[in-house]
Amino acid sequence: MTDKTGKSRNINFLIDKSDLNKQTFEYSDSSVELQEGQVRLAVDKFALTANNVTYAAFGDAIGYWHFFPCTDEKFGRVPVWGFADVIESRHSEVGTGERFYGFLPISTELVVTPVSVSKSGFVDGADHRQSLPSIYNQYTSVSGDPAYVQALEAQQMILRPLFMTSFLIEDFLTENENFGAERVILSSASSKTAIGVAYQIAHAEHRVAELVGLTSMGNKEFVAELGLYDTVTDYDDIEELDPDRPTVFIDIAGNGSVIRRLHGHIGEQLKYSCLVGAAHWDADSASTDSLEPKPVWFFAPDQFQKRVGEIGASTVLIKVSAAWSGFVGATNKWMDIVELHGEESIQQTFSQLLAGTAPPSKAFVLSLTDGTPLN
């Protein structure tokens, strides 16, 4: 990105790790010189969802701050999913002008070190990323991705990362025969990750008898109109649920009070408790370690690697692609895509997601550029 004088101007969106409500932008006037084998990507556009709030909320605990480290460790660069274009290359197999989809910082550019280059893309071989989950280090070439549709770039950025998690959660439940449960309860039922899980469960060959969505009173109508949940319940009415039905709980809200209430109400009929997200990141986060059954964190990359080891990467991806095609085709019934540009829009949208005030029907695609397409 260049300023009014024509000089290169790099911009990074930074978040105070100790207080996610404090954000700032960092500016520099020149680009880092590329080393042999490196590539400079210009970040074109990216999605911002509640999933990115989870990345920030667990930046240290799970390691999301480590992908794009800051010189000042007080700050973090929250990862996003989006598209970027090669604007400079010192790599013989990656050419200028190529377009890639993958894990990016909210910045104007990113320098990567491509390894394992193929027609489908590459892996970032940067030293600091080698200990991080490989699924986040892969960059997919739009020219080599059979699932890529230019007109669906927004849906891909917004939903594909979330849907991968959704797919793997349902896959995990099926693999474990739903832990013998007749009912699955999903918190934060209006979230896009929960909607993806609900879609997969609703279309599963051996689905549970009842799928329950927990949501706020304000989102109850939206969740009911999705037509995916058999029952939609407000958080205030948890104690109205039948306590005698074998149940699996998938928690996407991350609200300790909700988790403890549901555990206490369902009691011995709760067969498995799964922690996925932190949509309510600033709510009661008191420990749930003493609960029975003990809530277990679901980390999608672990399930992905497990399934790759069992049936192979190509088989897993074929299954995901088939499910994705059905899911994305149904999203235009409930999702409105909002495209925004500039620093102020990024800060306002992230703050809205932090506060949990973004309407569940809205999905945000943003860019630091002025909106002139690079592709």
pLDDT of 255-267, one tens digit each?
A: 889 999 999 999 9
Place 288 in a pLDDT band, splitting at 50, 70 and 90.
Answer: low
pLDDT value of position 371: 53
pLDDT value of position 62: 78
- What is the identity of the amino acid at 81? W
pLDDT in tens, 117-166: 999 999 999 999 999 988 899 999 999 888 889 999 999 999 998 899 99
pLDDT value of position 32: 83
Comparing CA positions, the residue from 33, 31, 39, 38 lying closest to residue 11 is 31
What 3-state DSSP class applies to 258? Answer: helix
What does the alpha-carbon distance between residue 135 and residue 144 come to, in Å, rounded to a whole number? 17
pLDDT value of position 356: 85
pLDDT value of position 282: 47
What does the alpha-carbon distance between residue 337 and residue 339 come to, in Å, rounded to a whole number? 7
pLDDT value of position 161: 87
pLDDT value of position 374: 41
Q: Is 292 a residue whose pLDDT tops 90?
A: no
- Which phi and psi (to 5°) does residue 321 adopt? -60, -40
pLDDT value of position 205: 84
pLDDT value of position 58: 79
Q: Is 287 a residue whose pLDDT tops 60?
A: no
Query: Measuring CA to CA, how many Å separate 367 from each of 43, 107, 134, 258, 344?
Result: 8, 9, 26, 35, 11
The answer to whether 105 and 68 are in contact (CB under 8 A) is yes
Average pLDDT, the chain: 90
Q: Is 290 a residue whose pLDDT tops 90?
A: no
Place 277 in a pLDDT band, splitting at 50, 70 and 90.
Answer: low
Q: Is 284 a residue whose pLDDT tops 90?
A: no
Give the domain 158-302 fold. Answer: Rossmann fold (3.40.50)
84 or 326, which is more confident: 84
- The structural domains of the chain, with segments of one domain joined by +, span 10-145+335-367, 158-302
Percent of the chain's residues with pLDDT above 70: 93
pLDDT in tens, 39-95: 999 999 999 998 898 889 878 877 899 999 998 999 999 999 999 999 999 999 999
pLDDT value of position 3: 46
pLDDT value of position 6: 43
Q: Which CATH superfamily is domain 10-145+335-367 in?
A: Medium-chain alcohol dehydrogenases, catalytic domain (3.90.180.10)
CA-angle at 84, arms to 302 and 305, nearest 5°: 10
